[in-house]
């Protein structure tokens, strides 16, 4: 899963819907807390390489995509794959300094998985202090979606639409489509794996029934159970259902693509997946939003509240859902400046990016996030 494994997104790293939380015995006005009572709520600004701002609807070049054990975090800065110890930035050694990329996930042992961008892009693994990255065979770069669990299993897909699992730098499992998938369907994304070994992704179909003329088009969630069981298609919430992350209990978070543009609605799926997908709704100040990551065991889910890019009444804002009640806002780094959340940890940290008063996008961590979260007026 892209949330930390203490056990991460990543990607994007990236946060989640859940049942009721009873966490560490701490409850605040913002909802159940995930961090220890000694935690100090703040927005921690990390070292960065870039000087750019927040580009609505575009891939961001700054952000904390993965929250590891201790003070290890990882993500992207200046469009390059990086990691941090505390607030100190470290570059991942690339075979070509001109290449871009990102670290998408990290497990509790410090094994990172990332992506190299470009026409010959690929996935890699890396540990802090190594002299070079390790390229994963048969991997490809089409999007920033991959994950690693504490057992060291890495998941993603390749350009031909096949889901793959790697271990110790070798491919160990293919991820086939559900048995009843329509002709021409392919694995579109593989976005998460938990420590149990459940793998999460999406299939894309584009098929016209020759007898009825009915057209099947869009994406739907797929779960590959641990142990190699057959792929399971989950309930779709709209024509485009994007699943982003899952926790150790199998709770899944993501969002619907709800028509033209960026009309997103947070969505959740809960085991045994027999009913329809649910939704906690949107932040009261924004009409749309996503859930990008869920913490491994505490049900803390995070994402970004949005407007359509052509209708930017308010800037994007990082948001949090503690598992019950309404979606809450995370404070901005500077008034009226954009922010986004993409990773979540059991200790209450939330990773993402936020624009400072000078207009520069910075990688940030909200510590004790549930203590900072609030319901906008």
| Tens-place pLDDT, residues 130-149 | 999 999 999 988 778 999 99
Burial call 56-65: b when 16+ CB within 10 Å, e when fewer: beeebbbbbb
Whether the bond into 272 is cis, omega within 30 of 0: yes
The per-residue pLDDT for 22 is 26
Q: List Cβ neighbours of 353 (8 Å cut-off, separation of 6 or more).
A: 54, 60, 62, 63, 64, 339, 340, 342, 361, 362, 363, 364
Least confident of 80-84, 175-179, 234-238, 303-307: 234-238
Q: List Cβ neighbours of 231 (8 Å cut-off, separation of 6 or more).
A: 175, 176, 177, 178, 179, 222, 223, 224
The Cα–Cα gap between 92 and 99 comes to 11
DSSP state at residue 374: B
Average pLDDT across the chain, whole number? 88
Burial call 200-223: b when 16+ CB within 10 Å, e when fewer: bbbbbbeeeeeeeeeeeebbbbbb
Least confident of 2-6, 24-28, 35-39: 24-28
The Cα–Cα gap between 17 and 245 comes to 10
Please check whether residue 352 is in contact with residue 338, taking contact to mean a CB–CB distance below 8 angstroms.
no
The Cα–Cα gap between 92 and 103 comes to 9
Q: Taking 70 as the threshold, does the pLDDT of residue 260 lie above it?
A: no
The Cα–Cα gap between 195 and 148 comes to 9
Q: List Cβ neighbours of 273 (8 Å cut-off, separation of 6 or more).
A: 223, 232, 234, 235
The Cα–Cα gap between 32 and 50 comes to 35
- Give the mean model confidence (pLDDT) for residues 340-353: 97
Beta strands 317-321; 328-329: pairing state: antiparallel
Give the chain's length: 377
Q: Could you tell me which residues are beta bridge partners of residue 182?
A: none
The per-residue pLDDT for 261 is 65
pLDDT band at 106 (very low <50, low <70, confident <90, very high): very high
Q: pTM surpassing 0.75?
A: yes
| Tens-place pLDDT, residues 226-246 | 998 899 999 987 778 899 999
Least confident of 9-13, 21-25, 320-324: 21-25
pLDDT band at 2 (very low <50, low <70, confident <90, very high): low
- What the block records as the tokens of 171 is 């491919």
- Which residue has better confidence, 239 or 369? 369
The per-residue pLDDT for 20 is 29
The Cα–Cα gap between 331 and 317 comes to 8
The Cα–Cα gap between 299 and 301 comes to 6
- Which residue has better confidence, 56 or 16? 56
Q: Taking 80 as the threshold, does the pLDDT of residue 360 lie above it?
A: yes
Q: Taking 50 as the threshold, does the pLDDT of residue 35 lie above it?
A: no
| Tens-place pLDDT, residues 110-121 | 999 999 998 889
Q: List Cβ neighbours of 96 (8 Å cut-off, separation of 6 or more).
A: none
| Tens-place pLDDT, residues 185-224 | 999 999 999 999 999 999 999 998 888 988 888 899 999 9
Residue 109 CB-density burial (10 A; 0-12 exposed, 13-18 middle, 19+ buried): middle
């Amino acid at each position: 899963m892209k949330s930390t494994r203490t056990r991460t997104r990543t990607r994007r790293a990236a946060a989640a819907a859940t049942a009721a939380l009873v966490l560490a015995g701490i409850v605040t006005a913002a909802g159940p807390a995930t961090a220890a009572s000694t935690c100090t709520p703040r927005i921690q600004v990390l070292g960065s390489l870039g000087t750019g701002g927040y580009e609505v609807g575009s891939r961001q070049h700054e952000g904390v995509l993965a929250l590891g054990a201790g003070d290890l975090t990882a993500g992207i800065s200046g469009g390059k794959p990086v990691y941090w110890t505390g607030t100190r930035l470290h570059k991942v050694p690339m075979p070509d300094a001109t290449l871009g990329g990102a670290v998408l996930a990290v497990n509790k042992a410090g094994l990172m998985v990332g992506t190299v961008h470009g026409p010959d892009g690929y996935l890699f693994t890396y540990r802090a202090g190594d002299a070079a990255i390790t390229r994963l065979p048969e991997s490809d770069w089409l999007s920033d979606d991959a994950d690693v669990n504490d057992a060291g299993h890495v998941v993603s897909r390749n350009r031909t639409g096949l889901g793959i699992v790697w271990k110790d730098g070798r491919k160990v499992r293919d991820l086939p489509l559900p048995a009843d998938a329509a002709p021409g369907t392919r694995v579109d994304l593989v976005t998460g794996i938990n420590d149990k070994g459940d793998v999460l992704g999406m299939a894309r179909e584009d098929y016209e029934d020759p007898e009825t003329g009915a057209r099947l088009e869009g994406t739907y969630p797929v779960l590959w159970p641990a142990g190699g069981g057959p792929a399971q298609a989950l309930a779709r919430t709209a024509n485009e259902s994007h699943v982003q992350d899952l926790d150790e209990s199998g709770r899944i978070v993501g969002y619907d693509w709800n028509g033209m543009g960026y009309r997103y609605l947070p969505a959740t799926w809960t085991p045994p997946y027999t009913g329809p997908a649910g939704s906690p709704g949107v932040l009261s100040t924004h009409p749309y939003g996503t859930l990008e990551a869920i913490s491994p065991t505490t049900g803390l889910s995070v994402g970004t509240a949005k407007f359509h890019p052509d209708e930017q009444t308010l800037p994007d804002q990082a948001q949090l859902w503690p598992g019950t009640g309404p979606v809450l806002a995370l404070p901005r780094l500077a008034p009226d400046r954009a922010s986004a959340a993409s990773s979540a940890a059991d200790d209450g940290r939330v990773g993402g990016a936020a624009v400072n008063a000078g207009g520069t996008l910075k990688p940030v961590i909200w510590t004790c996030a549930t203590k900072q979260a609030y319901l906008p007026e």
